[in-house]
């Protein structure tokens, strides 16, 4: 099954 | 104070139409170099990044950095009152709680002022690293819109694959399967009809069609769209805004659990 990833997990919080 | 006069007011109308259903409230960050916006959708699956450079405005003044908190549905209501050929000026005081939209008809015989309330928004800024993408495809934006819309009627997710031959879009659902391949074609008459593929490595990723469909509301902004893909990274769907900057959408992929 495929899981939708969260966009925040790819970028750094400033 | 902040003031920006945009001769081609329809650009701003198009930007709002492109993002108002994806993002509810966001800050428009105004500085002396232009207007920038970064916002996630409520599910934190997609991110919107907009840049409108000061040099694209007929007149631009920003005395100090301002974060103008705006409800996009409300701003869209206001901008719908501007004619497509109108010049739009945005104005805000440094300590104010409103933004003014001034619409000037092309022959200056009608001037309208709309004042909209601003809101306080705690925004979370994400640092987007520079990435060397494995594949970059530029294609007609209307073609991309058509493909995404067509596939949405068949499935919920699309596999986007890029090889040196071209870009493929596949989906499947209860009624069957679909696969569309667009080959690189650089020998067409009009540059905007071209599909170009820059590839370092073949890549294949899965995305929710609902979001891709939403991004294509930006089609009116540019005749071409650029898709940047790398393994296990968000896809970037970019619409360049002539002389001003860009509207980019980042969409997180679906991965195997």
Q: Which of B126, B250, B251 sits opposite A12 (nearest CB)?
A: B126
Helix, strand or coil, per DSSP, at residue B18: helix
In degrees, to the nearest 5, what angle opens at C-alpha B49 toward C-alphas B205 and B16?
A: 110
Give, as one character, the DSSP assignment of residue B253. Answer: P
Query: CA–CA distance from B247 to each of B107, B128, B165, B216, B250 (Å)?
Result: 30, 14, 27, 11, 10
Q: Select from A2, A8, A11 the Cβ nearest to the Cβ of B256.
A: A2
What mean pLDDT value characterizes chain B? 96
For residues B207-225, give the mean pLDDT.
98
**CB neighbourhood size of B183 (10 A):** 10
Computed over its alpha carbons, how large is the radius of gyration of chain A?
A: 10
Measured between beta carbons, the chain B residues lying within 8 angstroms of A5 are 45, 252-255
For B89-108, what is the mean pLDDT? 96
Residue A1's contacts (CB-CB under 8 Å, 6 or more residues apart) are B256, B257
User: According to the model, what pLDDT value does residue B125 have?
Assistant: 86
In angstroms, the CA B169 to CA B151 distance is 8
Cβ burial of B88 (10 Å; 0-12, 13-18, 19+) is buried
The answer to whether B45 faces chain A, any CB pair under 8 Å, is yes
For range B195-216, the mean pLDDT: 97
Please answer whether residues B230 and B251 qualify as being in contact, where contact means their C-beta atoms are separated by less than 8 angstroms. Answer: no
pLDDT confidence tier of residue B187, bands split at 50, 70 and 90: confident
Q: What is the pLDDT of residues B155-169, one digit of tens each?
A: 999 999 999 999 999
B253 touches chain A (CB under 8 A): yes
| Mean pLDDT within B107-130 | 93
Which residue of chain A has the CA closest to B208?
Answer: A4
Closest CA to B190 of B236, B133, B143, B135: B143
Strand B59-62 to B46-53 pairing: unpaired
Tokens of B65: 């950095």
Q: How far is A10 from chain B (nearest CA, A)?
A: 7
Binary contact (A3, B255; C-beta < 8 A): yes
Average pLDDT over residues B73-77: 98
Q: Which whole number is the average pLDDT over B207-215?
A: 98
Q: Using CA atoms, how far apart are residues B6 and B12, in angstroms rounded to an integer?
A: 8
Q: Confidence class of residue B117 from pLDDT cuts 50, 70 and 90?
A: very high
> For the segment B24-59, what is each residue's pLDDT rounded down to a tens digit?
999 999 999 999 999 999 999 999 999 999 999 999
Tell me how close the Cα of B171 comes to any Cα of chain A, in angstroms. 14
pLDDT at B257 > cutoff 90: no
Mark yes or no for CB contact A2/B157 under 8 Å: yes
Task: Tell if the CB–CB gap between B250 and A7 is shorter than 8 Å.
Answer: yes
**Cα B220 to Cα B232: distance, rounded to the nearest angstrom:** 29
Average pLDDT of the segment spanning B168-191: 95
For the stretch B218-238, pLDDT in tens is 999 999 999 999 999 999 999
DSSP string, B174-240: TTEEEEEEEE-B--SSSGGG-BEEEESS-EEEEEEHHHHHHHGGGGGG-SEEEEEE-TTS-EEEEEE
Backbone torsions φ then ψ of B19, nearest 5 degrees: -115, -10
Question: Smallest CA–CA separation between B129 and chain A, in Å?
Answer: 7
Q: Do B255 and A5 touch (CB under 8 A)?
A: yes
> A-side interface with B, Cβ within 8 Å?
1-14
């Amino acid at each position: 099954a495929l899981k939708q990833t969260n966009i925040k997990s790819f970028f750094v919080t400033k | 104070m902040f003031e920006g006069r945009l001769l081609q007011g329809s650009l701003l109308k198009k930007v709002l139409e492109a993002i108002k259903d994806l993002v509810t409230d966001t800050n428009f960050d105004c500085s002396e170099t232009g207007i920038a916006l970064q916002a996630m959708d409520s599910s934190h699956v997609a991110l919107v990044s907009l840049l409108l450079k000061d040099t694209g405005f007929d007149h631009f003044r920003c005395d100090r950095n301002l974060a103008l908190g705006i409800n996009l549905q409300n701003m869209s209501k206001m901008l719908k009152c501007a004619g497509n050929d109108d010049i739009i000026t945005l104005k805000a005081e440094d300590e104010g709680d409103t933004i003014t939209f001034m619409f000037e008809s092309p022959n200056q015989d009608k001037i309208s002022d709309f004042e909209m309330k601003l809101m306080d928004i705690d925004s979370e800024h994400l640092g987007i690293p520079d990435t060397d993408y494995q594949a970059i495809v530029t294609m007609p934006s209307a073609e991309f819109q058509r493909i995404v819309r067509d596939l949405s009627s068949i499935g919920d997710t699309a596999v986007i694959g890029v090889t040196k031959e071209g870009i493929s879009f596949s989906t499947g659902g209860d009624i069957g399967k679909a696969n569309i391949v667009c080959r690189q074609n650089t020998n067409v008459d009009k540059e905007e009809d071209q599909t170009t593929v820059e590839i370092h490595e073949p890549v294949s990723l899965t995305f929710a069609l609902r979001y891709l469909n939403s991004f294509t509301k930006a089609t009116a902004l540019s005749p071409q769209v650029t898709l940047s893909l790398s393994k296990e990274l968000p896809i970037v769907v970019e619409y360049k805004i002539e002389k001003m900057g860009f509207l980019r959408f980042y969409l997180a992929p679906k991965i195997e659990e």
